[in-house]
Chains A and B, each alone.
Chain A
């Protein structure tokens, strides 16, 4: 039977403005990870009952560790940021379905916004062929060095213009005339919605990783749903971000919210 596992913190610290990086020892999990999957992190202390879903940013099979990169937005992530190296957390995963990598693409476009950027690092490592990577930040970039090690063209935008192109990542893609035959993305919903429109217009099949507030993480409780309309069905259905996603085909997502 699968269970929640104790994971030792190997390295933990702030790598940017409200941006934290944590490496966890997770031997059985590391080998199973598909880029785009997440883990549930349960804190030992603090008032939070429910685990917190965090995307797997990258794995290192030689040391059996995986990395999470997160921002402090509330009490759970605040408590997480105080965990020290050597302590253990309880984790469950890998959960969800990752990206479906098009192995025959000659060029792929990867687009990340804010805290949607972390899972795209492991993805970038696994995508064959040429790549254009677009990263949108509100202000200071993070994980840029790691992305620069990938064999890809990297383009950066910031909302305040303090680094790279000033504007949204989609403005930057238009400006740059982004091209490719597969698109992968993770970021805030308004960005994904706009991107889905861009991909449709340019006839590029796109996959987007969505976020919703979760509880169980395994598909049982039906709280983290999003609206999805399959091509062969007449009406939309609520699908589970945790178990049916978090990655969906952008043309199947009903972008009304």
Chain B
């Protein structure tokens, strides 16, 4: 085939009106507030840093063990441990502002009031976007119940839209029968973008000791093991909504990132890969750039439209 070679592809993207220098983001909860990886990654190179989930008040999280490695992936049951939105605003935002990258804040809550409370506090913060986490499988109330019930998902998005100032990205759960239904419902209530997928609910058992490995019994599966499911869902959602989609789930290489963009995603996020190699985000970025050069893509949009039947 006659492929044109591109020297300097344009990696920039437009995510709900926000310009990112490239489509590579961090997956919430896998990159701390960015600070933890500051020694390993030049944060200026990332399209956006999506920080760990923040709630209205400090949350202690689940008992340990909070992690179990499984074939090609891992289960986590952190339970959204975080110091609360006030501590986040005074400590983490000033740190991230030192870098030339976009800041996306992942918002968690156990009730609509809590989600709105966080969005309201963040309205005055110098950040670029909110990511509404309605899909955490690791907390009993809230979280996942908003992400698996179409009416609840629509309602929380509608209420948060009323108080938020920044564009709102809604993070969807894969633990549903038809993800396009939820995607359409949140889009109808004004979601500016969709990110997906959060972790798949799973479990690991210690056969020798005859008990669950995780302190929380069940946890969220992430890593390469979930990539086929994530790709399928991103593909389906991109064909049923107009808002941009940020794809994630098992991205380890630039080519993995390209697959999500081929499926229709505008941006991508790197999660579990950070744990296997702290420079994973920039490795994925460089891999995507080289993929574009070799395949003759001059922009990310061209990849999005390149999928053959």
Contact B278 A215 (CB under 8 A): no
- B277-300 vs A, CB cutoff 8 Å, 1 = contact: the mask equals 111000000000000000000000
Contact B224 A49 (CB under 8 A): yes
Contact A223 B67 (CB under 8 A): yes
Q: A222-B81, A226-B64 are in contact. Are A49 and B76 (CB under 8 A)?
A: no
Q: A212-B64, A219-B32, A221-B30 are in contact. Are A49 and B39 (CB under 8 A)?
A: no
Contact B78 A1 (CB under 8 A): no
The reply on A214 being an interface residue by CB < 8 A is yes
Contact B278 A49 (CB under 8 A): no
- Complex contacts, A220 vs chain B, CB 8 Å: 30-32, 36-37, 52, 274
CA distance A214 to B272 in the complex (A): 12
* Total A-B contacts with CB atoms under 8 angstroms apart: 102
- B50-81 vs A, CB cutoff 8 Å, 1 = contact: the mask equals 00100000001101111111011110101001
Output the nearest chain A residue to B273 by Cβ-Cβ distance: A49
Q: A42-B276, A218-B40 are in contact. Are A49 and B67 (CB under 8 A)?
A: no
Give the shortest distance, in Å, between B2 (CB) and chain A (any CB). Answer: 38
Contact B67 A2 (CB under 8 A): no
- CB within 8 A of B61: which of A50, A219, A238? A238
CA distance A225 to B30 in the complex (A): 15
CA distance A224 to B31 in the complex (A): 15
CA distance A238 to B82 in the complex (A): 10
Q: A50-B275, A216-B274 are in contact. Are A237 and B40 (CB under 8 A)?
A: no
Contact A216 B36 (CB under 8 A): yes
The reply on A213 being an interface residue by CB < 8 A is yes
- Complex contacts, A2 vs chain B, CB 8 Å: 39-40, 278
Give the shortest distance, in Å, between B207 (CB) and chain A (any CB). Answer: 12
- Complex contacts, A204 vs chain B, CB 8 Å: none
Main secondary structure of the interface of B (DSSP, over half): loop
- Complex contacts, B47 vs chain A, CB 8 Å: none
User: In chain B, residues 13-41, which have Cβ atoms closer than 8 Å to a Cβ of chain A?
Assistant: 29-32, 36-37, 39-41
Contact A50 B69 (CB under 8 A): yes
Contact-residue size bin, chain A (C-beta under 8 Å from the other chain):
20 to 34
- Complex contacts, A213 vs chain B, CB 8 Å: 64-68
- Complex contacts, B274 vs chain A, CB 8 Å: 216, 220
Contact B278 A4 (CB under 8 A): yes
Give the shortest distance, in Å, between A215 (CB) and chain B (any CB). Answer: 4
- CB within 8 A of B40: which of A1, A47, A50, A226? A1
- Complex contacts, A47 vs chain B, CB 8 Å: 71-72
Contact B40 A3 (CB under 8 A): yes
- Complex contacts, B63 vs chain A, CB 8 Å: 257
Q: A1-B279, A3-B40, A220-B30 are in contact. Are A237 and B60 (CB under 8 A)?
A: yes
Output the nearest chain B residue to A225 by Cβ-Cβ distance: B64
Contact B61 A4 (CB under 8 A): no
Which 3 residue pairs spanning A and B have beta carbons closest together? Answer: A220-B32, A220-B36, A223-B67
Give the B-binding residues of A (Cβ under 8 A).
1-4, 42, 47-51, 90, 92, 212-226, 237-238, 243, 257
- Identify 14 residue pairs between A and B in the complex whose beta-carbon atoms are under 8 Å apart, listed by A's number: A1-B42, A4-B277, A42-B276, A51-B276, A92-B278, A212-B65, A216-B275, A218-B278, A219-B36, A221-B32, A222-B81, A223-B78, A224-B64, A243-B36
Give the A-binding residues of B (Cβ under 8 A).
29-32, 36-37, 39-42, 52, 60-61, 63-69, 71-74, 76, 78, 81, 223-224, 272, 274-279
